[in-house]
Structure 1
Amino acid sequence: MRVELVSVGTELLLGDIVNTNAQYLSKELASLGIEVFNQSTVGDNPKRLLECFDEALKRSDMVITTGGLGPTKDDLTKEMAAEYFGQEMVLHEESWKYIEERCRRFSPGKPVPPNNKKQAYFPKEATVIKNNNGTAPGAIFEKDGKRIIVMPGPPREMKAMFEESIRPYLMQFTDSMLVSRVMRLYGIGESALEIAIEDILDSQTNPTVALYAKEAEVTIRITAKAKNEEEAKVMLDEKSAEIREIVGKYVYAEGDSSIMDGESALEYSVAELLVKRGKTIAAAESCTGGLVAAQLINYPGISEVFVEGCVTYTNEAKVRRLGVSQDTLDKYGAVSEQTAREMAEGIRREAGSDIGVATTGIAGPGGGTDEKPVGLVYTAVCVDGETFVRENHFSGDRRKVRNRATRQVLSDLRMILEGIEI
């Protein structure tokens, strides 16, 4: 089954609305093992809609549209689908009754707008799909083995209709499904990862393995084609174990594809570890300016273990609040391994926590020297009296340096908590 997606709406072409529908449908169809051959966006123009349908159905078996099902004159998607198949539009009484009831429920005492009746017209040959979240029903048009499925444009309505009606309908066209799992890694670059798992990448058939570079981390997507989820899970487990055997120390999260998009996975992983193990933590920050504390606080329930965070930006604050030695600052400077160590140990001591973490560095754009350039950041983790300090050399602007420093100290903390050699 080869499918094309057509997003209808001039507002999409103008950039007034971000097209999230195509992304959602592509993922859902892929999970069913249905190939999405092409995606198109077309304005509210009858001639161009007909041309789009004609071109798409010459290449593919089915077109799925979103948008253009409203009550106004420029909403023409189902009208053009009917015209393309040479089918006459008639009033679908059941849909009209539902639309009337819905309009009266949301606007009691007011007459039903007459143009809403337009939404209840469909060919007799079409299968009308009820919209439980709006006034625009969907429909399935079919002729000579070709199909056009029309769905509403608002994502909330479209997604519900797809889950309730369209997905079950599409199941008849596939005897397999695609199930994906994502592994997120920190501490290894895309090139190094590719080399490390080169044999797996070169020999892959099913499941397939793909790498994606994100800012300061890499993700691996494993996709299995199977008859059912249980069979796919076995295949994914086997491939995941194979990858972990090689680069498992860098994997901080693994799950469905939704974790690929989230920026909070690392701090959630660390915070979850802290809460599960009952390890209290405090943070002393200089160049990150509170980002480490802010990331941890994103996790619900972190109050069980997070004691406090201090932004000790000046040398005076480091001495007064953390007990950093003035001699250390005079001899090595604020941006040094020695200062980072004393910051982590000082915040742990002053807060009475099990763990102390610290950051100190030069985020830029100014302040760097030949000896200590912009991007030099020391991160430190003190756990139960033992302190690990890392010297980092980050590239990028001020925001990137601060963000990468934050993620680095969290990554080191995760590995220490899990007993992984850094």
Structure 2
Amino acid sequence: MIDDTNTVRPGVAEILSIGNELLDGSIQDGNSYWLISRVMKLGGVVARVSILPDDMDVIAQEVQEALNRTVGKAPDVLFVSGGLGPTMDDLTLGAVAKGLGLPLEMHAKAREMVRQGFDALAARGSVEQGGLNPAREKMAMLPRGAIALRNPAGTAPGVLVEREGRSVVCFPGVPGELQQIFQTSLQPFLAKIFPEQAFAQHALWIGCNDESVLAPHLEWFQKRYPDIHVKARSGLFDENPKLKFVFSLGGQKKREVEDALDRALHDLTVRLEEYSYHVTSATDGSE
């Protein structure tokens, strides 16, 4: 048990990635991978990731279930990527509104963001005409009460909806746009969801290629240090005579969290070496 790290309950996120192209293998879901890495660095956890088709009812149902989850960790924030564009298959905002029981409304600030975005593209010669048309205005139809998030890299605003202690954040599916919104416009919100969190992660190589043999030692470790998350990076048995394990811990003060993780891994290393397993840091250059 770690009791000297000022450990606090980490912010919990879920991710919905929207798009038929993700389900037919046309593209990989890099957005979820990127969001998970950023949430972890903020000291939060991602409890679930789902990939959904461009289907209004399916998305709405998933939003309802995520925000009312009773099994597992209920999310503080639901990140939704994809489906904010101007075409008929861009259904995300309507589906989120339906899932929350809210109407869609023209959002004046979002409308201006869309107009400015297309004006800037026209000025650079990237599109023939700036301004607005009905398809572009569709991107400014937001759930009632939503906050429009400026998109420094594109035309579709991000969207934040806060309702009954839960929040939904919608991003465009273009990776560069999602990342820019996350790193700029969304920062004040993220500071509330993941307040003063620190995150430490370290990896070890253990000289054994059979997880089942190491299982009793890892069970001992988890009982002793339940706040530390452990994940094996397994490969094929014949590829490598050792296994890589990644250990991560969140808390309030970075130095205390790092020191606590180091002490815990020292205890694990001592135990494993007593059983004649060779243990090295995965950051020491060993392969």
TM-score under structure 1 length normalisation: 0.53
- Confirm whether residue 50 of structure 1 aligns to residue 60 of structure 2: yes
In the alignment, which residue of structure 2 is the partner of 1:200?
221
- Contact map agreement 2:19 2:52 (CA 8 A) in 1: yes
Superposed CA offset, 1:330-351 (max 9, x none): xxxxxxxxxxxxxxxxxxxxxx
In the alignment, which residue of structure 2 is the partner of 1:141?
161
Letter in 1 for 2:94: E
Q: Secondary structure at the match of 1:165?
A: coil
In the alignment, which residue of structure 2 is the partner of 1:234?
259
Q: % of aligned pairs identical?
A: 24
Tell me the distance in 1 between the aligned counterparts of 2:61 and 2:186.
24
Seen in structure 2, the aligned counterparts of structure 1 residues 100 and 232 have a Cα distance that, compared at 3 Å, is same
Seen in structure 2, the aligned counterparts of structure 1 residues 104 and 188 have a Cα distance that, compared at 3 Å, is same
Seen in structure 2, the aligned counterparts of structure 1 residues 38 and 186 have a Cα distance that, compared at 3 Å, is closer
Query: How much does 1:202 deviate?
Result: 4.5
Tell me the distance in 1 between the aligned counterparts of 2:60 and 2:227.
39
Aligned counterpart for 2:112 among listed residues 91, 94, 99: 94
Tell me the distance in 2 between the aligned counterparts of 1:229 and 1:169.
21
Q: Secondary structure at the match of 1:69?
A: coil
Q: Secondary structure at the match of 1:96?
A: helix
Higher helix share: 1
Query: How much does 1:220 deviate?
Result: 2.0
| CA RMSD in angstroms, aligned pairs only | 3.1
Tell me the distance in 1 between the aligned counterparts of 2:163 and 2:184.
24
Name whichever of 58-67 and 241-250 sits farther off: 241-250
- Confirm whether residue 66 of structure 1 aligns to residue 81 of structure 2: yes
Aligned counterpart for 1:131 among listed residues 148, 151, 163: 151
Q: Any residues of structure 2 matched to 1:400-419 within 5 Å, and which?
A: none
Query: How much does 1:124 deviate?
Result: 6.0
- Confirm whether residue 225 of structure 1 aligns to residue 246 of structure 2: no
- Contact map agreement 2:93 2:143 (CA 8 A) in 1: no
Which has the higher relative contact order, 1 or 2, with Cα contacts under 8 A spaced 6 or more apart? 2
- Contact map agreement 1:69 1:78 (CA 8 A) in 2: yes
Aligned counterpart for 2:26 among listed residues 9, 13, 16: 16
Tell me the distance in 2 between the aligned counterparts of 1:187 and 1:143.
49
- Contact map agreement 1:190 1:211 (CA 8 A) in 2: no
In the alignment, which residue of structure 1 is the partner of 2:233?
212
- Contact map agreement 1:182 1:219 (CA 8 A) in 2: no
Superposed CA offset, 1:299-337 (max 9, x none): xxxxxxxxxxxxxxxxxxxxxxxxxxxxxxxxxxxxxxx
In the alignment, which residue of structure 2 is the partner of 1:173?
193
Tell me the distance in 1 between the aligned counterparts of 2:126 and 2:197.
46
- Confirm whether residue 159 of structure 1 aligns to residue 179 of structure 2: yes
Larger Rg: 1
- Contact map agreement 2:13 2:79 (CA 8 A) in 1: yes
Q: Secondary structure at the match of 1:232?
A: helix
In the alignment, which residue of structure 2 is the partner of 1:81?
96
Seen in structure 2, the aligned counterparts of structure 1 residues 85 and 142 have a Cα distance that, compared at 3 Å, is farther
Superposed CA offset, 1:380-411 (max 9, x none): xxxxxxxxxxxxxxxxxxxxxxxxxxxxxxx6
Query: How much does 1:29 deviate?
Result: 2.7
- Contact map agreement 1:99 1:116 (CA 8 A) in 2: no
Seen in structure 2, the aligned counterparts of structure 1 residues 253 and 34 have a Cα distance that, compared at 3 Å, is closer
Seen in structure 2, the aligned counterparts of structure 1 residues 212 and 87 have a Cα distance that, compared at 3 Å, is same
Tell me the distance in 2 between the aligned counterparts of 1:35 and 1:198.
21
Query: How much does 1:66 deviate?
Result: 0.3
Q: Secondary structure at the match of 2:190?
A: helix
Query: How much does 1:72 deviate?
Result: 0.9
- Contact map agreement 2:102 2:143 (CA 8 A) in 1: no
Tell me the distance in 2 between the aligned counterparts of 1:53 and 1:124.
16
Tell me the distance in 1 between the aligned counterparts of 2:189 and 2:142.
19
Seen in structure 2, the aligned counterparts of structure 1 residues 40 and 200 have a Cα distance that, compared at 3 Å, is closer
Kindly tell me the number of residue pairs found equivalent between the two proteins: 258
Query: How much does 1:85 deviate?
Result: 3.7
- Contact map agreement 2:198 2:250 (CA 8 A) in 1: yes
- Contact map agreement 2:104 2:141 (CA 8 A) in 1: no
Letter in 2 for 1:237: D
In the alignment, which residue of structure 2 is the partner of 1:345?
none
In the alignment, which residue of structure 2 is the partner of 1:251?
280
